[in-house]
């Protein structure tokens, strides 16, 4: 253990407000790990909610760990120090449970890096009873945990608040020296998945032939857990720190899920059913943030679908507070909402047209028109909000080159609408992202667009908009979209590619070159209706046949 690492941890803690510290005596020590930087991890409200929830349990002491920044990583290696928790600077090996929060597939590789730095064997089968139990949860693994199956002892599928309570009861009831016995008991709990207790077989062409439990006590399908009463647990920031994306903002969850049925988006299936939190609870939690003198950041995929959204915003503003939102649907922007945002100091608002043409918006079932987009722009600019961030997806099913040109045309019309309303030139930022097929969506059968073609589409958009003043185009590199699709769509065999990429320090091309596995099998291939997916063993409350009908309906609209 080095003084430099300890001092860097103390500097982070000194800037925090709301840190929870508990004594270890007689408690189950859990290290909650976000496999990315402190800045990214502490910007994630779900991570903070789980940290508070676990520490609220009298039998638990929960601390945090993150992927070290480069200089700190080098210090760990130089000093041969195993990864330490933030609060007490204890090695992860001293915890009973190491729990990873995984909202994004791109962090799968970081999970392996953290295990290695913590001096924990990577594969579950290589870890004996003296090694902490490795568990994982979050959006990415709730959709498809299989690429990480050989590395994780147990997955939480769905929302974890209640599942953790059941999990810890079982953990206390079984001798810690018998990890195998505990996992067999835990696998019976709704929402918990133990990959070592299931067997996957493949046919000669590489398709999944069967996915089956190894004993009769394990369920054939793992049912997703979801919180029936979203008011049961507090759902606001636990720790405030300036070292996050949201600075010292007080984050407040307004609702979970989304009532929309966008065919490319997994939010609906992940958080089905859509639930609004009670307005009285929201006001009480917002007042807590206002008492601490904080700007209130409202979190939710469908903020404006809360029946009291405007009333909540008005309450915060009338009490002298300010609201902040990451984005809002174009058809939800009214003069009243724009006025409240402007009063709160918003100078930029993000909306997501997703496509450049109404035809393609109908294909993906994005429920608003170009007229509504331009109307939203007019309202925002009229209230002094001159800067816009516009989210677009390229590579969607049935997309044509005309649809790509449509993004250019729509951006120009939005600029024209802004100038009509006010002669002042505001900033427009286009964020272009490739379509990533996601499990449990109607588009799970569709392939990822070819990297070369995606690059050409980005060039067309950039070239078409290069003469528009105060407009910039940001985009995700298509090669990273390819990797994300591989991790989103892959089965247990993809774990071998993950391991190779880890061994080559993230050099994916080298990993592909040195493996007999062809990643195009999961990325570029359109799936068949009857195909067994790696995630079919999960019960998200949706019928696969229903999703297939939606997919065919979308293709027919093209």
Q: What is the pLDDT of residues 246-292, one digit of tens each?
A: 888 999 999 999 999 999 999 989 999 999 999 999 999 999 999 98
pLDDT at 421: 86
How far apart CA 9 and CA 7 sit, in angstroms, is 5
Residues 511 and 365 in one domain: yes
**What's the CATH code of the domain at 475?**
3.30.750.200
- Locus of tokens 């789980």: 50
Is omega for the bond preceding 346 within 30 degrees of 0, making it cis?
no
Cα–Cα separations (whole angstroms), residue 452 to 177, 448, 459, 464, 479: 52, 12, 11, 19, 9
Judge whether 355 and 332 are in contact, CB under 8 Å. no
In a domain, 245, yes or no: no
In a domain, 275, yes or no: no
Task: Indicate if the pLDDT at residue 384 is higher than 70.
Answer: yes
pLDDT at 248: 83
Strand 222-223 and strand 538-539: the pairing is parallel
Residues 392 and 528 in one domain: yes
pLDDT digits (tens, 9 = 90+) for 463-481: 999 999 999 999 999 999 9
Task: Indicate if the pLDDT at residue 489 is higher than 70.
Answer: yes
Structurally, the chain folds into a number of domains equal to 2
pLDDT digits (tens, 9 = 90+) for 339-381: 999 999 999 999 999 999 999 999 999 988 999 999 999 999 9
* Domain coverage including residue 42: 3-223
Task: Indicate if the pLDDT at residue 425 is higher than 90.
Answer: no
In a domain, 277, yes or no: no
Q: Which of 177, 206, 223 is the last residue of a domain?
A: 223
In a domain, 546, yes or no: yes
pLDDT at 368: 86
Q: Structure tokens of 367?
A: 């429920």
pLDDT at 145: 98
pLDDT at 510: 97
In a domain, 320, yes or no: no
pLDDT digits (tens, 9 = 90+) for 219-253: 999 999 999 999 999 999 999 999 998 888 999 99
State the DSSP code for 492: T
pLDDT digits (tens, 9 = 90+) for 289-345: 999 877 999 999 999 999 999 999 999 999 999 999 999 999 999 999 999 999 999
Q: What is the DSSP string of 352-419?
A: EEESSSHHHHHHHT----HHHHHHHHHHHHHTT--EEEEEEEES-TT--HHHHHHHHHHHHHHHHHHH
Task: Indicate if the pLDDT at residue 177 is higher than 90.
Answer: no
Q: Structure tokens of 17?
A: 């407000």
Q: Return the SS3 of 485.
A: helix
In a domain, 273, yes or no: no
State the DSSP code for 533: P
pLDDT at 1: 60
Task: Indicate if the pLDDT at residue 47 is higher than 80.
Answer: yes
In a domain, 332, yes or no: no
In a domain, 126, yes or no: yes
Task: Indicate if the pLDDT at residue 557 is higher than 80.
Answer: no
Residues 214 and 362 in one domain: no
pLDDT bin (cut points 50, 70, 90) of residue 176 is: low
Query: Whole-prediction pTM value?
Result: 0.96
Going by C-alpha positions, the residue among 516, 510, 421, 411 that lies closest to residue 470 is: 411
pLDDT at 247: 85
Strand 275-276 and strand 255-256: the pairing is antiparallel
pLDDT at 353: 97
User: 52 or 217, which is more confident?
Assistant: 52
> What's the mean pLDDT when you consider all of the chain?
95
How far apart CA 251 and CA 223 sit, in angstroms, is 30
pLDDT at 173: 81
Q: Which of 190, 223, 256 is the last residue of a domain?
A: 223
pLDDT at 213: 96
Q: Which of 223, 250, 284 is the last residue of a domain?
A: 223
Task: Indicate if the pLDDT at residue 423 is higher than 80.
Answer: no
Segment 113-129 mean pLDDT: 97
């Amino acid at each position: 253990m080095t003084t430099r690492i300890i001092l860097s941890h103390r500097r982070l803690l000194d800037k925090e407000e709301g840190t929870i510290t508990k004594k270890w005596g007689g408690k189950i020590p859990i290290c909650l790990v976000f496999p990315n930087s402190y800045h990214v991890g502490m910007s994630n409200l779900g991570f903070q909610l789980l940290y508070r929830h676990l520490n609220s349990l009298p039998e638990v002491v929960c601390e945090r760990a993150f992927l070290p920044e480069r200089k700190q990583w080098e210090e760990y290696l130089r000093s041969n120090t195993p990864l330490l928790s933030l609060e007490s600077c204890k090695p992860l090996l001293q915890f009973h449970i190491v729990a990873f929060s995984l909202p994004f597939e791109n962090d799968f590789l970081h999970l392996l890096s953290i295990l290695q730095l913590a001096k924990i064997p990577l594969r579950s089968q290589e870890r004996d009873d003296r090694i902490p139990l490795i568990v994982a949860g979050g959006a990415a693994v709730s959709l498809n945990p299989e690429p990480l199956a050989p590395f994780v002892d147990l997955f939480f599928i769905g929302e974890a608040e209640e599942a953790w309570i059941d999990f810890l009861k079982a953990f206390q009831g079984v001798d810690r020296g018998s990890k195998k016995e505990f996992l067999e008991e835990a696998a019976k709990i709704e929402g918990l998945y133990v990959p070592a207790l299931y067997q996957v077989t493949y046919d000669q062409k590489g398709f999944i032939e069967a996915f089956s439990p190894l004993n009769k006590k394990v369920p054939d399908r793992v049912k997703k857990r979801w919180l029936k009463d979203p008011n049961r647990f507090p759902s606001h920031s636990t720790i405030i720190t300036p070292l996050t994306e949201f600075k010292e903002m007080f984050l407040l969850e307004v609702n979970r899920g989304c009532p929309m049925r966008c065919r490319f988006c997994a939010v609906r299936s992940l958080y089905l059913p859509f639930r609004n939190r009670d307005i009285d609870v929201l006001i009480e939690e917002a007042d807590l943030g206002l008492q601490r003198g904080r700007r209130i950041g409202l979190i939710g995929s469908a903020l404006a679908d809360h029946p009291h959204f405007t009333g909540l915003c008005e309450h915060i503003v009338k009490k002298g507070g300010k609201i902040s939102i990451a984005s809002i649907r174009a058809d939800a922007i009214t003069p009243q909402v724009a006025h409240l945002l402007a009063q709160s100091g918003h100078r930029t608002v993000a909306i997501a047209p997703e496509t450049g043409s109404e035809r393609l918006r109908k294909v993906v079932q994005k429920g608003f028109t170009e007229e509504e987009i331009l109307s939203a722009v007019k309202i925002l600019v009229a209230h002094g909000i001159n800067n816009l961030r516009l989210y677009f997806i390229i590579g969607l099913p049935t997309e044509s080159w005309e649809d790509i040109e449509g993004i250019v045309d729509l951006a120009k019309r939005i600029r024209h609408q802004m100038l009509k309303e006010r002669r002042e030139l505001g900033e427009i930022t286009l964020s272009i992202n490739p379509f990533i097929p996601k499990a449990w969506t109607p588009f799970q059968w569709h392939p990822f667009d070819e990297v070369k073609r995606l690059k050409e589409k980005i060039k067309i958009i950039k070239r078409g908009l290069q003469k528009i003043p105060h407009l910039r185009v940001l985009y995700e590199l298509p090669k990273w979209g390819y990797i994300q699709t591989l991790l989103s769509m892959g089965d247990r065999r993809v774990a071998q590619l993950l391991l190779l990429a880890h061994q080559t320090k993230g050099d994916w091309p080298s990993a592909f070159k040195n493996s007999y596995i062809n990643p195009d099998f999961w990325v570029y291939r359109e799936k068949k209706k009857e195909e067994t997916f790696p995630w079919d063993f999960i019960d998200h409350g949706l019928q696969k046949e229903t999703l297939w009908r939606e997919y065919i309906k979308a293709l027919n609209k093209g």
